[in-house]
Amino acid sequence: MSHISIAIDGPAAAGKSTIAKRVAKKLEFLYIDTGAMYRAVTLYVLEHGDGVIKDIASHIHITFGINDEVYLNDKDVSAEIRSPEVTNNVSRVSAIGEVRTYLVEMQREISRTSNVVMDGRDIGTTVLPDADVKIFMQASPAVRAQRRLLEETARGNNIDLATLTAEIIRRDEFDSMREISPLVQAEDATLLDTSHLSIDEAEQKIIQLVEDKLEVQ
């Protein structure tokens, strides 16, 4: 039996995770936050050093809880992986070949056994190139920085808007220029700019796109 896969890509703070999670719930699909997986690996590398990467499969096991909690070796790290230190290092760790190979295969295996909504940087181009629906979400750096500021403030992190804007621009450049699986819109992906859309509006646009393409009711 084949399963339906929906790929949602885009830069940091474009709204991918928030929208993908809602779309998955609406369709009763499994939501896979690939960014959280890379953040979990980054957390482990920061704690144990880059040396663990060479034998990553024996060091790292990632699972998700029923409420989207992220478990690293059976420990809930949902809050820890959102720290500024992890955020500022995740692009570097994500660009390492061994890390991507390990996680991409894990992500593909999940898609082979479940209907999924998967979001990240290279889902439609690399992880699931044959996804049934592909969406590339974007928003201006200023809008994304403002969204990230609200998130960081809610987590109790004190950081200013200018710093966040600079970090987002730097991360965009790194993700777009990296040699392995750069951030790029797939040729057959639908572009969705969320700069001036509410969460509800963005969710509805994607649901409508899925229904139009797959006749999901």
Q: In the predicted model, is pLDDT for residue 200 greater than 90? A: yes
Examine residue 217 and state whether it is found in any structural domain, yes or no.
no
- What is residue 1's predicted lDDT score, i.e. its pLDDT? 52
- The reported pTM is 0.83
The domain that holds 26 is classified in CATH as: 3.40.50.300
How high does pLDDT run on average in the chain?
92
Q: In the predicted model, is pLDDT for residue 217 greater than 50? A: no
Interatomic CA distance for residues 62 and 37, integer angstroms: 7
Which residues form the domain of 172? 5-211
- Nearest to 163, CA basis, from 176, 177, 153: 153
Grade residue 181 by pLDDT with cuts at 50, 70 and 90: confident
Q: In the predicted model, is pLDDT for residue 66 greater than 90? A: no
Q: In the predicted model, is pLDDT for residue 214 greater than 80? A: no
The residues near 101 (Cβ < 8 Å, ≥ 6 apart) are none
Examine residue 18 and state whether it is found in any structural domain, yes or no.
yes
Q: In the predicted model, is pLDDT for residue 75 greater than 60? A: yes
